[in-house]
Amino acid sequence: MEAAQERLKASEEAVNGHEARIAGVVAQLESEQKEVERLEKQLKESTSVHKTTLESLTTAQKALERERTELLSELNALKEADSLRKNKEGNEQNKALEARLLEQTREVDNARRILKESEELRLQLEERQARIQELEHQALEAESQRRALHNQIQELRGNVRVFCRVRPTENEPAVKCAPDGSSLNLTRADGKENAAFEFDRVFDPSSKQDEIFEEVSQLVQSALDGYKVCLFSYGQTGSGKTHTMLGEGNGDMQGIIPRSVAKIVEASEKNAHKGWKYTMHASYVEIYNEQVRDLLKPGSSHSDKHSIVHKNGVTEVSGVQREHIDSVESAAALVRRASAARVVEATNMNAQSSRSHTIFMLYIVGEHASSGSEMTGCLNLVDLAGSERVGRSGAEGKRLKEACAINKSLSSLGDVFSALAAKQAHVPYRNSKLTYLLQPCLGGDGKTLMFVNINPETASAEETMCSLKFAAQVNAVQLGDGKGAQRRITTKMSAKSEDAADEKKEKPRKEKESGERKRKAISSSEPRKK
Ligand code: ADP
Ligand code: MG
C-alpha cells in the first residue's frame, strides 16, 4: 500500500508536475496567442500604413510623372524658344557682319582708288624728279662750262685768279656772300658805306676743305703738266690762312698743302702708264724778317746764308733740304715735320699768330723715255703772314720789327702786282725775299691763284676792307703780257707720243743743256684747258 500510496503519491506528484507543465505551456500558449494577436494587429496596422504609403507614393509618382511630362514639354518649349532666339541672334550677327563687310569693301575700294591715285602721283613725281635731275644736271653742266670758259678767259688774259674765303663766325657778320658764288658785300663798321666785291669765286663760311680743294685741284695738277704754279693764302691773322693752306689733322680738315701733295703723287702714278716717269722733291721754308729758315732741318735758325737762285727756269733756295717724295705717306710726314717747326708767336690778335711766311715748294720732273721729253713743273704753296696793320695787332719792340718786315714783304708783293697790272717795264721782284723767290711764277708764264681769307666779324670790317681791296687789285693783274701760262717741256726728237702731239703747235723757245743730251726747248703759248 505504501508502495501504492507511494506510487500514487508519485503519480500525483507526476500529475501535479504535468499539470504545472501544462499550466506553463497553456500560459506560454496564451502569451504566444497574445503575441500573435499583437503581431497580427501590428501587421494589420503596418499593412494599412503601407497601403497608405503605397497609395501616397503612387499618387506622388503620378504627380511626379505629370510634373515630368509637364517639364518635358516645357523643356521642349524652351528648346524651341532657345533655338528661335539663337536664330534671331544669328541673323542679327549676320546682318552686322554684312554691314561690316560692306563697309570694308567700301574701304578697300577707297584704298584702291587712293592707291591708284598715289601711284599716278608717284609716277608724276618720278617724272618730275627725273626732269629736275636733268635740269639740275644741265644747270651744273652749264655752270661748269661757264666756269671753264671763265677760267679760259682768265688764262687767256693771264689774270691772277683770286678766290675769297669767308671764315665762319658766331657773331652777326658784316659780310654777306651772294648766291652767285662770286660776289660779296661788306658793311663797314660805321654802317654808312657798303662795298661790293667780285672775285673768281667766293666761298661762304659753310664751305668745306674738300670743296675748296676741288676748285684748285686742276691748277695744282697743272704742275704735273709742266707749269709753274703758285697759290697764296692772304689775310689778317685769324682769318683762316693756315686753315686753308695746311688745315688740321689727317682727315677732312686737311688743307690745300697735304691734299695737293697727295693728289700729285696719285696723278703721277696714274700718268706712269702713259710712259711718264716723275721724280718729285720738296722743300719747305719759312721767311721771317727777310731771313730764310729751312723747316725740314731740325734746329735750324733763320739766316741770310740761304740765297734764292733761278736756274734754267727752276727756282731753288740754296742750302735748304730737298727731300725726295715717292708716296703720299712720305709727303704727309714731311708736311707734319715742317708744320711742327714753324715759328709761332702770340700777338693780341691771335695766340697762335704766325709772324712768318711759309712756302712749300714741290719740284716735279717728268721724263718720257720713248719721246725723250722732259718736263719740269713746280708748285709753290704759300701761307703768308698776317696782313693786319701794326697798330691794330698791338705789336711792340721785336714784334713791331717783325710786323714791319711782314708788311714790307706784303707791300712788296702788292708793288709787284701793281707793276704787273700797270705793265711796267720794271717789276720790283728783288725788293723782298718772298717776291724774288716767287718771281718765276709771278713773272709771266706761271699760274697764280690767291686766296683772300676774311674774317666776317664787324670788328674786323676795316681789315677786311683792306684785304678785299688788295685782292681786287691782284685780281686785275695780267701775267705774261696776256700770253697766258707756259708749260715748260723740252724734247729731243720730233713728237710721236700723244703728249708730244699736244705740243705740235708749240714753238721753240730756248735752248737747254741737260747732261750729255741737248734738247730742243719748246714751250706752249696756248692756255691749258683740261
Ligand atoms: P691765320 O692763319 O689766318 O692766322 P688760322 O687758319 O690759324 O688763321 O685760323 C684761326 C682759327 O680759326 C683756327 O683755329 C682755325 O682752325 C679756325 N678757322 C679758320 N678758318 C676756318 C674755317 N673756314 N672753318 C673752321 N675753322 C676755321
Ligand atoms: Mg696762320
Say if residue 527's pLDDT is above 90: no
Tell me, yes or no, whether 112 and 230 share the same domain: no
Q: Which range is least confidently modeled, 253-257, 275-279, 482-486? A: 482-486
**Of 210, 239, 243, best ligand 1 pocket probe by most atoms within 8 Å of the beta carbon:** 243
**Ligand approaching nearest to the C-alpha of 240:** 1
Tell me, yes or no, whether 106 and 162 share the same domain: no
Tell me, yes or no, whether 47 and 190 share the same domain: no
- 460 CB-near residues (< 8 Å, 6+ apart): 174, 236, 239, 454
d(CA 377, CA 268): 12
pLDDT at residue 339, rounded to an integer? 78
SS3 annotation, 145-207:
HHHHHHHHHHHHHCECEEEEEECCCCCCECEEECCCCCEEEEECCCCCCEEEEECCEEECCCC
Whether 242 has a binding-site annotation, put simply, is yes
Q: Note the Cα 175 to chain centre separation in Å.
A: 27
pLDDT at residue 330, rounded to an integer? 87
Whether 158 has a binding-site annotation, put simply, is no
The percentage of residues in the chain with a pLDDT greater than 90, rounded to a whole number, is: 24
pLDDT at residue 519, rounded to an integer? 29
Say how many domains are in the chain: 2
**pLDDT tens for each residue of 323-368:** 999 888 888 888 888 877 764 444 444 433 467 889 999 999 988 8
Tell me, yes or no, whether 68 and 125 share the same domain: yes
203 phi, psi to nearest 5 deg: -100, 120
- 349 CB-near residues (< 8 Å, 6+ apart): 236, 237, 238, 386, 388, 392, 393, 394
pLDDT at residue 508, rounded to an integer? 36
At 441, is the secondary structure helix, strand, or coil?
Answer: helix
pLDDT confidence tier of residue 159, bands split at 50, 70 and 90: low
pLDDT at residue 157, rounded to an integer? 58
Structural domain harbouring 217: 158-476
Nearest to 353 by CA among 379, 330, 323, 387: 387
Length in residues, the chain: 530
Angle, helices 397-421 vs 461-475, to 10°: value is 30
**Cα of 488 to ligand 2 centre, how many Å?**
32
Tell me, yes or no, whether 188 and 324 share the same domain: yes
Q: Where are the beta strands (DSSP E) in 274-403?
A: 276-288, 291-294, 308-311, 314-317, 323-325, 357-368, 373-383
pLDDT confidence tier of residue 405, bands split at 50, 70 and 90: low
The number of the ligand 1 atom at minimal distance from the alpha carbon of 244 is: 6
pLDDT at residue 280, rounded to an integer? 92
Q: Which of 428, 443, 476 is the last residue of a domain?
A: 476
Is 303 within 8 Å of 296 (Cβ atoms)? no
Q: Is residue 514 part of a domain?
A: no
Tell me, yes or no, whether 118 and 216 share the same domain: no
**Cα of 240 to ligand 2 centre, how many Å?**
7
Tell me, yes or no, whether 231 and 324 share the same domain: yes
pLDDT confidence tier of residue 526, bands split at 50, 70 and 90: very low
Q: Which range is least confidently modeled, 25-34, 75-84, 217-226? A: 25-34
pLDDT at residue 297, rounded to an integer? 86
**pLDDT tens for each residue of 413-423:** 888 888 888 88
Is 486 within 8 Å of 459 (Cβ atoms)? no
pLDDT at residue 520, rounded to an integer? 29
pLDDT at residue 483, rounded to an integer? 56
pLDDT at residue 390, rounded to an integer? 60
C-alpha atoms less than 13 angstroms from C-alpha of 206 in its C-beta half-sphere: 4
d(CA 134, CA 140): 10
Q: The domain that contains 434 carries what CATH number?
A: 3.40.850.10
pLDDT at residue 399, rounded to an integer? 62
Q: Is residue 493 part of a domain?
A: no
Q: Is residue 520 part of a domain?
A: no
**pLDDT tens for each residue of 181-220:** 888 999 877 766 688 999 989 999 999 999 999 989 888 8
Which amino acids bring their CB within 6 angstroms of ligand 1? Answer: 167-168, 235, 237-243, 350, 352-354, 386, 453
pLDDT confidence tier of residue 525, bands split at 50, 70 and 90: very low
pLDDT at residue 137, rounded to an integer? 83
Better pLDDT: 87 or 232: 232
d(CA 294, CA 285): 5
**Ligand approaching nearest to the C-alpha of 343:** 2
Nearest to 245 by CA among 115, 380, 377: 380
Whether 235 has a binding-site annotation, put simply, is yes
Tell me, yes or no, whether 167 and 107 share the same domain: no
Q: Is residue 525 part of a domain?
A: no
Q: Please enumerate, as own/partner, the contacts of 526-530 that have beta carbons within 8 Å and a separation of 24 or more.
A: 526/484, 527/152, 527/155, 527/156, 527/484, 527/485, 528/155, 528/222, 528/225, 528/227, 528/485, 528/487, 529/148, 529/151, 529/152, 529/155, 530/218, 530/221, 530/225
The torsion defined by the Cα of 58, 61, 66 and 70, in degrees rounded to 10, comes to 170
290 phi, psi to nearest 5 deg: 65, 20
Tell me, yes or no, whether 130 and 170 share the same domain: no
458 phi, psi to nearest 5 deg: -55, -40
The helix (run of H) or strand (run of E) holding residue 46 is helix 2-157
Q: Is residue 28 part of a domain?
A: yes
The torsion defined by the Cα of 329, 334, 338 and 339, in degrees rounded to 10, comes to -10
- Cell matching residue 28: 506560454
Is 282 within 8 Å of 326 (Cβ atoms)? no
Q: Is residue 528 part of a domain?
A: no
Tell me, yes or no, whether 107 and 178 share the same domain: no
Q: Which of 436, 459, 476 is the last residue of a domain?
A: 476
pLDDT at residue 450, rounded to an integer? 93
Tell me, yes or no, whether 318 and 181 share the same domain: yes
Q: Is residue 484 part of a domain?
A: no
By the CB criterion, residues less than 5 angstroms from ion ligand 2 are 241-242, 354
Single pTM value for the model: 0.65
Q: Is the dihedral of CA 464, 465, 466, 471 positive or negative?
A: positive
pLDDT at residue 408, rounded to an integer? 78
Tell me, yes or no, whether 315 and 390 share the same domain: yes
**pLDDT tens for each residue of 457-505:** 988 888 898 899 889 888 877 776 555 566 666 655 433 333 333 333 3
Whether 145 has a binding-site annotation, put simply, is no
pLDDT at residue 393, rounded to an integer? 54
- 434 CB-near residues (< 8 Å, 6+ apart): 287, 357, 359, 382, 384, 409, 412, 413
In Å, what is the CA distance from 263 to each residue of 52, 233, 235? 129, 19, 26
Q: Is residue 215 part of a domain?
A: yes
Q: Which range is least confidently modeled, 149-153, 214-218, 350-354, 526-530? A: 526-530
Mean pLDDT, rounded, for 87-94: 81
- Cell matching residue 6: 507511494
